[in-house]
Amino acid sequence: MSDLGEFFKRRMEATRETANLKELAYVRRRPVVGRSTRSTNSRVVTSKSHHRQSSYQVQNDNKSLDFIYYSDSEDETEAVEPSNEDAGYNISCNFVDCMVNRERGCDRKFQTQRLASEYATRHMLSNAMLKEYPVMQGNMNKVSKVFCSQWLSHKQVIFGTKCNKLMVLDVNTRHMDQIPSLQSSENSVPPDQECGIHSIEINPSGTLLATGARNSNDVAVYRLPTLDPICVGENAHSDWIFDQTWLDDQFLVSGSRDGSIALWRITDEMIEQVTSADIPSYLYTRPLLNKKCKQADRVRSLCYNNRTQEIAVVSLNGYIHCWDALKMKQVMSKRLPHTLENVCLSTDEECQMYAVGSKAHTDLLDSRTLQSVRKIPSRNSGCGIRSVSFKGNILTIGTGIGLMLFWDLRACKFLESTMNSNRAVQLKASRGWVQRDDTFMDAFQNQKYLPAIYTHCYDTSGTRLFAAGGPLQCGLKGNYIGLWQ
């Protein structure tokens, strides 16, 4: 019984230590030759230090004997070699060990390791290692207001603009290519006024990309990585499509300014029909269903929570709505803590949390109850929150005055700089390009112009941040495109 109790005790201690280290970079070290690794048992180190401290106290401090610490057994040998079963102590938290272990290929089965998704991001931000590299354009190819973006690979970023251009940027050469927008059929009724491309979404397997078509109320789907056109989804919305989200590799949900959401399906048969055709072409498809979002004035942003299989929808009248993705049925609607300019939404499935950006706050909501967890005030009053995203335990906030802020979810405060502990980390974008017409001169005659960060996205490594946007005022034409690395 004593052996069995000791076994469970070691298992509990190992599990506890592993749980405490789950947010760090660590590798479980197993000996290749011999009985143990070169790492030292933490129990042995603790017992040695306590024994030295108690011995020193007994020998040199005879005046105060109110408290005396005795080691487990002074007669037993202190240098106990850790066994292979004591896996909780054979852990290295060294980032270099993780990299070396991955280079050897031991991370797959032999020496398991964990690297937090925001490890590199947090390190580079807190140590001021990210530097801005603005992307400049020629006078003839300038685009207006970048609204959305996604990384296609480690060297390509795709983004959509207000002037209805779909562009691919090579981050190494700074070269841009325009992808032709897909024309809708004659049966499609365009909106009264075009407003560009507001969303770009890639399905979980990375094989399809959904964005806006030439008509701002239609959906365009491309195949990756070639960006060959697959289909145009039409006759679902009467106004601009503001956001889209994939439920899986085939089902797509779009949300429109007309207050409705639509469900689409892109099947393997559709892809096969397009790719096997002798003449390059694409299909026209209709939605599986189209439903009005109750209590919603205009659907502004939406996202899919795969863990709860729910769709969260934010409307401009200050409500967040929850939909059952399996039944496509609206479950609840709740008024947001701040009701002005709720234009962006993001989800963190691990923490079961939604982040909603408003005019002066970023609200964190419990995704299970839609109750407010924390209200994050903007560091600059009334600057407007234009984009939010989760990267592990870091919430990135893009504002309307060219600043990007970083909220530490674990510490519940803005990420602090290691260079100056009294200063929060923030990235300040350059001016970009803006057309200096009469509207610009009237608006910024007595104040400084700064672009709004409408979109930002990290690459898979978390060491590069693409940020883009443009003027916050409606009548101005301009853009900002920058790469932070």
- Per residue in 335-373, pLDDT (tens digit) is 999 988 899 999 998 889 999 999 989 999 999 889 999
Least confident interval from 237-241, 318-322, 442-446, 454-458: 442-446
Q: Tell me how far apart the alpha carbons of residues 245 and 376 are, in angstroms, rounded to a whole number.
A: 25
Reading the block at residue 272, the tokens are: 């096969």
For 421-466, write each residue's pLDDT tens digit: 788 999 999 999 888 877 777 767 777 888 999 999 999 989 999 9
Rg value, the chain, Cα? 28
For 100-148, write each residue's pLDDT tens digit: 877 777 766 666 777 777 888 888 999 999 999 999 876 656 788 999 9
**Exposed / middle / buried, residue 383 (Cβ in 10 Å: 0-12, 13-18, 19+):** buried
For 190-226, write each residue's pLDDT tens digit: 888 888 999 999 999 999 999 999 999 999 999 999 9
Angle at 143 between CA 386 and CA 484, to 5 degrees: 55
235: left (phi over 0), alpha (psi -120 to 50) or beta: left
Closest to 200 measured CA to CA, from 219, 187, 178: 219
Closest to 414 measured CA to CA, from 402, 400, 396: 396
Q: Is the dihedral of CA 371, 375, 381, 384 positive or negative?
A: negative
Overall average pLDDT of the 233-241 stretch: 93
pTM of the model: 0.80
For 375-402, write each residue's pLDDT tens digit: 999 887 768 899 999 998 999 999 999 9
Closest to 182 measured CA to CA, from 110, 45, 274, 301: 274
Overall average pLDDT of the 277-289 stretch: 92
Q: Tell me how far apart the alpha carbons of residues 283 and 301 are, in angstroms, rounded to a whole number.
A: 27
Closest to 346 measured CA to CA, from 320, 382, 316, 317: 320
Closest to 473 measured CA to CA, from 436, 443, 431: 443
Q: What was the pLDDT predicted at 350?
A: 85
**Exposed / middle / buried, residue 284 (Cβ in 10 Å: 0-12, 13-18, 19+):** middle
Q: What was the pLDDT predicted at 305?
A: 94
Q: What was the pLDDT predicted at 351?
A: 85
Least confident interval from 47-56, 312-321, 383-392: 47-56
Q: What was the pLDDT predicted at 98?
A: 77
Reading the block at residue 170, the tokens are: 């090579």
Q: What are phi and psi of 100, to 5 degrees?
A: -65, -40
Overall average pLDDT of the 243-251 stretch: 95
